[in-house]
Amino acid sequence: MESKDEAFGFVWDLVLRLRNKSHKAMRAIRSDNGGEFRNSRFENFCRDLGLEHQFSPPYTPPQNGVVERKNRTLVEMARTMLDEHRTPRRFWAEAVNTACYIANRIFLRAFLGKTSYELRFGRQPSVKPLRAFGCRCFVLKKAGHLDKFESRCLDGIFLGYASSSRAFRVWILEAKQVVETCEVSFDETMPCTTPAFELLGDDEEGTPIFEDEKGAVNDGDVGATAPAAVM
């Protein structure tokens, strides 16, 4: 999402997907008083679906504490994952999505003893596909016009999991683009320190990306935008 104006489209898509996939009815949406949520288009959408739109008062993030605390958890996870393999900060969005994917599969809900994934789909998630974010990986080249002695793989950086298929998201160093593939091998023991990786650079080194890097803040002071629902 490049601007807050796009928030409605993402919420619309999420609500419709949840209604189609879940056996539980959605009754309400809770948000802050941001203009991206409080507008006629959003209200018409909620009314058409019979949803109650609840607002937290201005400058009172504790009243929307579940989302605020979840935001902080995901940001802290993402920061740690970026630091672990010295992944450039330009990939922070991929890190947050991956953090959400992992959290839905490993964090137990209080009193229920089940993960968010299990509560939604009724079965335990598999953790076998989990890999270290930012680790070096090698994507198999498709057979074709390859020379006999040409490399059969492409160097890449692991950036997470595909949302619509059972595949991994990989940043190909040579092509400088993200691909989704299942034909990939991982080296989770070492950071990406190859010359090709270093050429990526990190133009934002030392520049705060997350809200809580700008100074000491309280639990509720992290941005109020809800984390991506990556299941």
d(CA 155, CA 157): 7
Cα separation, 171 vs 215, in Å, equals: 32
Average pLDDT over residues 90-100: 95
Which residue stretches of the chain are H helix? Answer: 7-21, 40-49, 65-84, 92-106, 116-121, 195-200
User: Rounded CA gap, 90 and 169, in Å?
Assistant: 15
For residue 230, the model assigns a pLDDT of 56
pLDDT(173) > 60: yes
d(Cα 174, Cα 196) in Å, to the nearest integer? 7
Among 49-53, 110-114, 227-231, name the one with the lowest average pLDDT.
Answer: 227-231
Indicate whether 44 pLDDT > 50: yes
Mean pLDDT within 175-199? 79
- What pLDDT, on a 0 to 100 scale, did the predictor assign at position 7? 87
- Measured in residues, the chain has a length of 231
Report the C-alpha gap between 25 and 53 in whole angstroms: 15
CB atoms within 10 A of CB 110: 6
pLDDT of res. 53: 93
Please tell me the distance from the alpha carbon of residue 90 to that of residue 159, in angstroms, as a whole number.
Answer: 11
> How far apart (Å, rounded) are the C-alpha atoms in residues 34 and 31?
8
Distance CA 173, CA 91 (A): 13
Who has greater pLDDT, 76 or 216? 76
pLDDT in tens, 209-219: 545 555 433 33
Helices (H), 92-165: 92-106, 116-121
At residue 203, does pLDDT exceed 70? Answer: no
Average pLDDT over the chain reads: 81
Per-residue pLDDT band for 2 (boundaries 50, 70, 90) equals: confident
User: pLDDT by residue (tens digit) across 22-41?
Assistant: 777 889 998 888 888 989 99
pLDDT at 197 (0 to 100): 58
Q: Which two tokens stand for residue 1?
A: 């999402």
Q: Where are the domains of the chain?
A: 1-55, 56-221
- State the number of CA atoms in the 13 A half-sphere of 104 facing the CB: 19
Q: Averaged over 14-25, what is the pLDDT?
A: 81
Asked if pLDDT for residue 221 goes beyond 50, the answer is: no
The per-residue pLDDT for 133 is 95
| pTM reported for the whole predicted model | 0.75
Greater model confidence, 9 or 194: 9
Q: What is the pLDDT averaged over residues 137-162?
A: 85
Q: Residue 150 pLDDT more than 90?
A: no
pLDDT of residue 50: 92
